[in-house]
Structures are given as structure tokens and as C-alpha cells.
A and B are shown apart, each in its own frame.
Chain A
Amino acid sequence: MSALLEVEGLTTTFPAGSERVPVLRDVSFQVRAGRCLALVGESGSGKSMTALSILRLVPRPGRVEAGSVRLDGRELTRLSVPDMRRVRGREVAMIFQEPMTSLNPVVSVGRQVVEAIELHEKVSQPAARERTLGLFRRVGIPDPEARFHSFPHQLSGGLKQRVMIAMALSVRPRVLLADEPTTALDVTVQAQILELLRELQAESGAAILLITHDFGVVNQLADDIAVMYAGRIVETGQRADVLRGALHPYTQGLLRALPGRAQSGERLLEIPGRMPSPKDVPAGCPFAPRCPEATPACTAWAPRFTEIGERRVACLLREDRGELG
């Protein structure tokens, strides 16, 4: 079965002085219908930029330099502006990180969902309203009739995120880009929202691109994992495989830094150093300066992807294993 969303060689740059600096370099991944791919990485690794690049909403002066984004075989990067507008929301919807600021403060939440429906479908006002109430019920908003007329400031963060999800799902998109959908919420609400996303995915068979830095979230929702570092994907694979036996030293470092894995009383291991800013990503492997296993070769050659079964990893040290395995 071919993938619903295929991203290949996506490169997005921002100007810095006279030259353009890539914040995404050669990002490739695929998400199949009904599956959830988690894009994992530190802050600033380019996760959100990937989602915005897919929707062609990279804030100026940034721009997508190269690469292709195919939705069910259709090339999105070459669509006309009005066509692209029809794709947004209708076929690819996005849920944002901050429910607090992602709703217009002066329009009632019900009205906002109704407008989202009316944007893409010719429906009558009462029908759109009915559907909005149905969506509110579906995403678990108590007393939808009353909440319909509420303004965003009258709702809690969890409720607002549910409204955002209702809005994103209002026209049944085939791909959902969820940009840290639970970061701003407390843990119990977080679990509810993830549960909701999973149910909704099971119902609609949508593909989800889940952007997160939280392996807890990954565990609850994702089928596959793609690890990002400094604007590049360094490792991809099925969730269980990656979590059980990470191949890339960066993924291994991330997993070692998780609180759940350490024995109590033991110090958590951290990855020394900081992620380089897009401006001064070193030549060779971008992770080499922080890598415990780095060899002189790592700073000289940029690693290529090695395929190991269904997994792919960009690390010089694993290239031999690819040939073996």
C-alpha cells in the first residue's frame, strides 16, 4: 500500500545576512492512511517548520527551496494558490500547540467551527450548526449547546484544544498535522486528548503526523517514529523497534535521558552540549560534536541513510551494519 503523504527531499531556508540558511535539509518521510508518524526532536530541530512547509505556510522571509510533498500522488508544491487553499483544512488540517492563542478571541467558538465548515462545504447555516454541535459532542465537550456561544477566554485549555480538534476535523481531512497538541495541557487532560485523537483516527482512517518532543505522547499514539536533529531526519522506523533498539547515537541519547527508564535515585543522563543553530551546523554529521561515539570521519563526511530492514538511520558508524543486516 502506497503512502498517503509522501515528503521527499524537503528543504526550507531562511535568509541570514547575504546567504540563505537551511532550517530543513533533505527531509523525507511517508505516512500511510490510518497510521501515525511521530516526528520527534528537540526544540528548534525543525519539526513545526516541517508541518508548515507541507502546508506551504512557511512565514516570510523563509521559503521552501526544494523537495516534493505528495498527497495521494498529487504534488502539493506545484499547486496554484487557490488550489492549495482548498487543500488546506479540506484535505490536510493542522492542530496547533497553543490552544490559548489559536482561537480568535472575539468570535464565539461555535461560530469559528461553523465558519471552518462553511469555508469548504456548501451547507446551510442550521446544518453547519448541527454538525458543529455533533463535533463538539464527539470530541467530548460537555454541554455543547451552551459552549457553542462561549468565547475562547471562557473555556479551559483542554476544552479549547478540543474545539481546535473539532475545527480541524470539521471537514474530515485525510491528513492531520498535530503540532505538539498536548504540550500546553496538564497530564490528565493530555491523556484524554491523545485518547480522543486515537479514537478519531480509528474512525476516519486519517493519517496523522504527530509532532512532539515527548516520548510519552509517542508511546500513546504513534505507529512510526522519525527523529529529527538540526533540520534533518536522522532515524526512522516502527515505534517498537526504535524505542527498543535505537540505532542513531542521538536517539539513544534521547532515550537515555527519559526519566522512566532510569532506576530511582540514579542520575538522568543528558546529551552534552547544545543543538547547533541552523547558521552553524557543522559539516559532516551535524551531531558529531555531541556524539559520544564520534570518529574523525564523522566530522568529514555527511552520513547517508542506511537501510536496516524497514528502518533507516543516518550515521556513518551504522553503515556497515546495513550491509550485514
Chain B
Amino acid sequence: MTAHRLLALADGPLAGAAFGNIIVACLLALAVATFWYCRKNEIWWQALVEVFSRRRFSVLVLSLYVALALADSVSWVGGGGGEADGVLSHEARSLVDRFFSGSTEKSYSSPLAAAEFYDKTPLVRSRGHLLGTNILGQDVLYMTVKGARVALLIGGLTSLIAIPLALFFGMVAGYFGGRVDDLVFFVMSTLASMPSILLLIALIMVLGQSTVSVCVALGVTSWVSFCRLARGETMKIRELDYVVAARALGVSHAAILWRHVLPNLLHLVVISFVLLFSSLVLAEATLSWLGIGVSGSWGQMIAQAKDELSRDPIVWWNVAAAGVAVFVLLLAVNRIGDALRDVLDPRTLGEGR
């Protein structure tokens, strides 16, 4: 099975982190390209400025997450701090890894504690663990910060799979109608009629458990709703005068889709991207909780911490850190998405406020 081999390749020689970094680089390039496009286009630039001024705080929070994710993506082998540990010195370590190096304890400690949680052995870094440590003695703050990269990677990569897929099929189905539409709609209905979690589990079983395969599985199951939206909107645009006018000028179907339909769907793309992004981060948390998620994600932190919640006294900081991290990210993203929707509403598009 080629897909399987491809994914295995991605996780094999190009070890997880390196492949992840390629994706991070792609996402970054895309973000820069988007920014550049907006800069050149008056309407989009206005919208961007408007969103920024309405949601300064959310944008700041999101930028912090992105900065952390980038800091965790810049990695190299060797260098200070790692020499003491023979294993560490052969692995590429990111800025975040280096910042937190040597912070591992032997077991639990509560936030800012001076000693371990159960026996009172003094910690290596007394009062140095802002959010305490987990059962393996790993610094919880460190784990939480590392989760940012995983979350953005899942949200970004999956959207990158799902949105072009949805756009293509939605536009083609909506524009040409007839048999093509029937076919696309049949596929969409079939996907939508299956419980998505079952489909996800089945796909991950087939593709194997890795970051990329989880993203592919999530992408395949999550494109339907946006596809339906794109299809409906395309059907509407198809009937508009400027499409008929373009036809009367002799513009081909492909050019109409590219020049007239797609640009008028872009506001939907942006809004859907934001909404999809947050739902994907949540979906991954669910998968991790079921034990088939991506390693190092917040979902996995929560899954690992669930047994600790039944201890007495409760070990709460682990689950709380991951939960708050997810919550704050999704809140920021949703707030920005909300502002985007207001700003990009076609009825108010480009109007000075």
C-alpha cells in the first residue's frame, strides 16, 4: 500500500522531528505568502488591520503560541548543556529543549515545590518547577510549551489537507452541477453518515500511528462540512451576473473558477480555517485520550494525567496546565475567527467603519 509506505518513509529516515520541521517551514512560508498577498490587496489588508485592532489581546496570545512552536522547531545537534548526558548529545534539540535542559526530577513535585510530592527528597531544582513535574519527573511547563508546536502542527497540516480538498470538490460540484455534483455529494453524504470517531480510528489503524497519519485521517474526515459550504456558495456565485458576464466575454470555465469563484470564496476559507483549526486541536485531544493521538500533544498529557486525578491528595497541575493551554489557544483562535467573520462578511466587505 503506497500511502502506508509514504507515511512510513516520512516517519522513518526523516525522523519525526525533522519531517515536522519541513511542515513547519511550509506552514511558515504559507503564512508569509498570505501576509504578502494581504499586503498587496487593499481589501484584505484593511480586514487584517481591522481584526488586529479589534482583537489585540487574542492576536498577542496566538503570536505567543506561534513563537513557542517556532522556538521548539529550531533545533540542532550538539552544543552546550547536552554533553553531560551521552544520549542527549546525539539528538537534535530545539531552543525549548535547551532552555529546559537538566530540569528532570525523579518523580512528582507540585508547582514551585522544594521537595518531591510523596517522600520528601529535595529536588534538583528546588522551587524551579513553575508548574511542578509529572510522574516521570518531567517539568510540566516544559511539556506544555512543547505541546504548542504539536497543536499548531496538527491544526495547520490538517487544514492544509482538508481545505484544498474541500475547496476543489466543493467548487467543481457547485459550478458544474449535474453528474459531478451527484458524485461529490454522494461521497460527502457517505462520509458524513459515518460516526467520524470510528472512521478516524479505522483510518489510523490502517495508516499507522504517527503525526502525519493522524493529520491525514483528521483531514479526510473533516473536509465534508466546508466542502458543503463551498459547494453552496459556488452555486450561488455561478448564477451571479459577473460570472455570466465573464462567460459572455469568452472566459473559460477553469479561469472563471480561478479568477471569479475562488476569490469570492476566500472569506469563507479564512473563517473555515479558523473554525476547523480549533475543532481539529480538540479532535486530536480526543484521539489522544483514546490512546491513538500524537505523542507530545496536550491531549496525551491529559490522558496520562487522568489516573493521577484519583490520587489523594489530587495531582491536578498536570491536567490543569494542558487544559488551560488548550483552552487559551482555542479561545484566542475563536475570538480572532469571530472578528474575521464580522470583518469579512461580504455585506460589509471593504466598508469603512
Contact = CB atoms under 8 A, between A and B. Distances in A.
B43 A106 contact: yes
A107 B250 contact: no
A262 interface: no
B247 A96 contact: no
A154 B350 CA distance: 9
Nearest to A173: B249
B245 to A, nearest CB: 5
Given A106-B263, A153-B350, A101 B242 contact: yes
A55 interface: yes
B283 to A, nearest CB: 32
B206 interface: no
B252 interface: yes
B241 interface: yes
B208 to A, nearest CB: 42
B248 A88 contact: yes
B132 to A, nearest CB: 51
A87 B252 CA distance: 12
B244 to A, nearest CB: 7
A94 B242 contact: no
A128 interface: no
Contact of B250 (A120, A151, A164): A120
Contacts of A98: 241
B248 A105 contact: no
B205 interface: no
A167 interface: yes
Contact of A86 (B177, B240, B241, B250): B250
A60 B250 contact: no
Contacts of B266: 106
A133 to B, nearest CB: 19
A119 B250 contact: yes
B247 A57 contact: yes
Interface in A145-161: 149, 151, 153-154
B251 interface: yes
A93 interface: yes
Interface in A92-121: 93-94, 96-98, 101-107, 115-116, 119-120
A101 B248 contact: no
Interface residues of A, number: 34
A171 B264 CA distance: 26
B98 interface: no
A149 B248 CA distance: 23
A46 interface: no
A65 to B, nearest CB: 20
B16 interface: no
B43 A151 contact: yes
B127 interface: no
A107 B248 contact: no
Most chain B C-beta atoms within 10 Å of own C-beta, residue among A60, A86, A119: A119
Nearest to A90: B250
A181 to B, nearest CB: 12
Interface in A214-270: none
B264 A89 contact: no
Contacts of A105: 242, 264, 346, 349
A104 B252 CA distance: 16
B269 to A, nearest CB: 13
Most chain A C-beta atoms within 10 Å of own C-beta, residue among B43, B244, B250, B264: B250
12 contacts: A59-B239, A60-B177, A85-B250, A88-B247, A102-B242, A102-B245, A106-B43, A106-B263, A115-B259, A119-B251, A151-B350, A177-B248
Q: Which 7 A-B pairs have the closest CB atoms?
A: A88-B250, A89-B249, A89-B250, A94-B248, A102-B241, A101-B241, A85-B250
Interface of B: 42-43, 177-178, 239-242, 244-252, 259-260, 263-264, 266, 346, 349-351
